Amino acid sequence: MAKPVAFTNAKPPSNLHSHRTTSQTHTVSFLNLNNLSFISCALTLGHKNKQPNWSKPSLVRSKSGLGLGPVDPLEMAAEAWNRTALLVIDMQRDFIENEGPMLVKGGKEIVPNVIKAVQVARQRGILIVWVVREHDPLGRDVELFRRHLYSTGEVGPTSKGSPGAELVDGLVIREGDYKLVKTRFSAFFATHLHSVLQGAGINNLVITGVQTPNCIRQTVYDAVALDYQPVTVIVDATAAATPDIHLANVFDMKNIGVATPTLQEWTDFKA
């Protein structure tokens, strides 16, 4: 079993754009890609070796028995990714497309990165879990504060079988993936997600999707409470209504030991 890496807790800075302490530096940069703004959160530790701020996926015991002597690195990597699941949360038309009734303004910009994260997960043999909202057309399973959206006689947001409940273009559920329907913010609340992951031997989670302060955050906090380790949030494959909201929630999650790499950092990472 790989030795867990200790996380350094960072207090949310009063100025979200730049914060410096004697032990670490947080730099936030806003980039522009094809005239679409998105946030890249670079969290660089002030250690000499500048190691990433996330731990390696936990490994099962190697086939060599007691784990003594040389172990094939490819075997170790395969074992690590086999214990990892990628959660793609709420990447549905009603949340992402401009005319969607539940539009998350930062959602459209991250679609290419979510597509890339799924591609990398498939290459690594990582289980992909598609977490979606699908509600009763009459809104009987919706939170009380949203039920008025289903009382007008029109199709409510992400109603089961509606076009708005479909995944956005470029994201496709394939054989071997798992689809999970939820009716609340957390993917764990009143679902069988934990049982499915336990049955598959999963203890490492990677999170993508929308939106950061609601479904992403509550799923992450439940995962931490259930002792998944590590829990990773890809910062530029998740989004909120504004960059400031996104970044503030990223800081909160990092403070409870959640890993926060960019997509490129996660893609380049070797187990």
> Which residues belong to the active site?
90, 182, 215
Element (H, E) at 88: strand 84-89
Q: In what order do the strands lie in the sheet with 178-182?
A: 178-182, 127-133, 84-89, 204-210, 231-239
Q: What are phi and psi of 88, to 5 degrees?
A: -110, 110
CA 69 vs CA 16, 58, 79, 94: distances in Å = 47, 19, 17, 53
- Mapped onto helix, strand or coil, the DSSP state of residue 5 is coil
Instruction: Please classify residue 223 by burial: count the beta carbons closer than 10 Å to its beta carbon, then call 0-12 exposed, 13-18 middle and 19+ buried.
Output: buried
Residue 77 in contact with residue 270, Cβ under 8 Å? Answer: yes
Among the listed residues 57, 71, 169, the one whose alpha carbon sits nearest the alpha carbon of residue 121: 57
Residue 118 in contact with residue 258, Cβ under 8 Å? Answer: no
The DSSP secondary-structure symbol of 112 reads: H
